[in-house]
Structure 1
């Protein structure tokens, strides 16, 4: 009886043997790197918007309803312009990245974006100590906002494409890192409020921190290709799903004893049941990457889900949630930190919990009709938050006046946001071949940005209703 050998033809067999032997040694390090990469995509912008008080003070823009009438006539609408000039490039360049990423090398897109973001934050930190005319400062700041979000869109889309080549749990690590960025910025805001640091000093800290974080992220990305476990999936990105190692992380390599003249000590890839995979030669000869539209047809439901998740979230957070005030339990100094603590920190922590939970269990499954139903059901949070204790509302109805009611709603709101967003982003690459996973990741990033933009637009409508 003839023994069939399955060789890694076309690849360096010895190299693959070493890599497969070492895959258990550094998969934890790969997970940590993806966590840091996720944090690095959102931490710079989160810290930038945390410094809104600094920008408003420097532009003499009113920050409260008690501002004098002369202040109200300020020609600068920083908050509105910031929203506009952040959402437009985010939406535009995530879309362009979905179509043009194949023509620009991945390393150039990711490393180049990180370098430019680092330089932009160095410039922003320098401007804190540079006195200049308000018009010039406003123009420079608006340009910085545009370019930070432009490079951030390319970076985020490219990294989602990269993580799509790996098993789904690494998407969970990546998105958990993004949530951690929100926690860090919320803690920074809280500490600033408690310590009563002046806006200029606080802003300097807000801008220096992203510089260090971006530099760390760049270093981690540079290390990733050199890790043997990561190398398996990066090299396997062009092969079809049926031969993709991550579908079964218990893959092993075994030496085949020579049985006949054409089989001399070759290497065979087997799964946990000892069954051999087909020759990888055929996988290499399969067609090119599918067109973007063809990939979209396979992931459209997950794209719709992630859009819905962030549309619901951004409709109420932070436009509605920051309007909620304490009702007697938080008094004195505690009243001053109610919003940073109960709104931003609670949401960020529970968002991280929800994203991290997908590493432990993933329910409903990607093919379940219950998944989009539960995603749509999150819309109940919008009226729930609108009926919390908002003194400035035009009608007196407040169903959830107590602070703990608000904190409970915010906790569930944040946790479901992180959980369903992470599941949507993790499931999408599983609907396509491994060679199309990067396209799926880039497309999903566009629909994530679309959800953010739609949510931001709807927030203006909801504020009018209150």
Structure 2
């Protein structure tokens, strides 16, 4: 028997793909709150904040709602992921942290449902800040949750790490479908929001139940032994045996991991900056020019649903095809920067109160749709490759730290991308 065959024979069997499914479910949970909030953009902007006599502040809240939502969501998310990373990353009780954070997220979504049920016409400014506070609270808890899930999965083979990435991308598709269902079964925007956010409570409860299955099966205790010999063809140049990372002090261990995986961290950062500077702040502001679909559904289908379907397809593709390797992955990552001018020169309309000042070069709906497909598929595929490659570049004992650093970099990339989107209206329009 060959060494490779022997190594594979020693890997515990995942009967019925149970462990894979558990990670997939928790992957859905890691970005589901964010996707639920951004998919409800129309409810927040055109219902709750669309008052008869808006103040200058409320008008600003409406024009830049998605960007403000992103800042409120991702800034505390980064802080808590950092805190979670430095508090005993390798020996932490991840399961307890996950249970607590999921329970907190469920509680905040119940509060959001409560604000949807009341009439806030006379206090739109207060409603805006309550919404921002809710987003901050949810994503504070979610930052710990996401870091813990990646920390556990990074002790597993790359297939299981990618299960989380697939789940993250699948969460957007599920949120988009649930929004379409909520629109179709509701007679007004208020009921639509109540139904929609109720789905969030149900799905996060499912993630909570799934975590109890992880504890029962002692998944995270056996995970250290559940690793294949599937390393990238191109190995890092750092000699692990020479540096002996297990003997380093805590801060030096983090620096060692960063030194090993910085190319993948840079790739992750660039992927998410490009994607999140376009989606959803720009892509959701590109209306139909050909009347391909009713305007009520156009953005929900061709922006949110299409993006999330094809980002999931891209992540799933990485399960079977892992090319290019770690060294050359930066090339397609850099090429994706071209998506930014492409979407800005589609029929991008910054807001109701700003007038576009540059010509539209890509006028037809099919151009925009093809762009969404290419943007989302490449985002899912390349981000999955980076998260697969990163933990393989360090010793097994530091794989959880590498995974958590990757998860943290995702949120940093999202936050930078969201803030970058604030620049585009100033470049392409005037009041």
The reply to whether TM is greater than 0.5 is yes
Contact conserved, 1:61 with 1:74, CA < 8 A, in 2?
Answer: no
Is 1:94 aligned to residue 65 of structure 2?
Answer: no
Is residue 333 of structure 2 the alignment partner of residue 375 of structure 1? yes
Tell me the matched-pair count.
392
Contact 1:172–1:422 (8 Å) recurs in 2: yes
Structure 1 position 125, deviation (Å): 2.0
List runs of 5+ in structure 1 lacking aligned partners.
Answer: 1-19, 63-67, 238-243, 250-285
User: C-alpha deviations, 1:161-197, integer Å up to 9, x for none?
Assistant: 1111110011221111111110111123334445563
Deviations 1:348-390 (A, max 9, x none): 1110000011111111122x3x211111111111111122233
SS at the partner of 2:227? helix
Shift of 1:90: 1.7
SS of residue paired to 2:151:
helix
Deviation at 1:101, TM superposition (A): 4.2
Matched, 1:125 2:113: yes
Q: TM-score, normalised by structure 2?
A: 0.83
Deviation at 1:442, TM superposition (A): 1.3
CA deviations 1:105-137 (Å, max 9, x no partner) are 212221111111112122222333345773654
Counterpart for residue 191 of structure 2? 201
1:461 to 1:443, Cα distance in 2 relative to 1, 3 A? same
> Is this contact kept in 2: 1:169–1:358, CA < 8 A?
no
CA distance in 2, matches of 1:321, 1:359: 28
Which residue among 393, 396, 418 is the counterpart of 1:431?
Answer: 393
Shift in CA distance, 404/59, structure 1 to aligned 2, threshold 3 Å:
closer
What TM-score, normalized to structure 1?
Answer: 0.77
Indicate the RMSD between aligned Cα atoms, in angstroms.
2.7
Post-superposition CA distance 1:291-332 (Å, at most 9, x none): 21111111111100000000011111122212222222426x
Q: Answer yes or no: is the 8 Å Cα contact 1:161–1:439 preserved in 2.
A: yes
Per-residue CA distance 1:9-59 (angstroms, 9 max, x = gap):
xxxxxxxxxxx9993352611111111010111112321333334434665
> Which residue of the other structure, out of 86, 95, 104, is the alignment partner of 1:116?
104
SS at match of 1:83: helix
Partner secondary structure for residue 128 of structure 1: helix
Q: Distance in 1 between matches of 2:322 and 2:229?
A: 17
1:34 to 9, 23, 36: 23
Structure 1 residues 89 and 346: alpha-carbon distance in aligned structure 2, compared to 1, 3 A threshold = same
Contact 2:12 2:226 in 1 (8 A): no
1:186 to 162, 176, 181: 176
Unmatched 5+ residue regions in structure 2?
Answer: 1-8, 231-245, 350-354
Residue in structure 1 matched with residue 71 of structure 2 by the alignment: 84
Match of 1:282 in 2: none
2:47 and 2:189 in contact (8 A); partners too = no
Match of 1:385 in 2: 343
Q: Matched residue of 2:163: which SS? A: helix
Within 1, Cα distance between the matches of 2:291 and 2:43? 29
The correspondence of residues 315-464 of structure 1 with structure 2, limited to 5 A, is: 315-330=277-292, 334-366=294-326, 368=327, 370-390=328-348, 393-398=356-361, 400-464=362-426
Secondary structure at 1:390 match in 2? coil
- Structure 1 22/222 Cα, relative in aligned 2: closer, same or farther at 3 Å? farther
* Counterpart contact for 1:315–1:462, Cα < 8 Å: no
User: 1:335/1:447 Cα in 2 relative to 1: closer, same or farther (>3 Å)?
Assistant: same
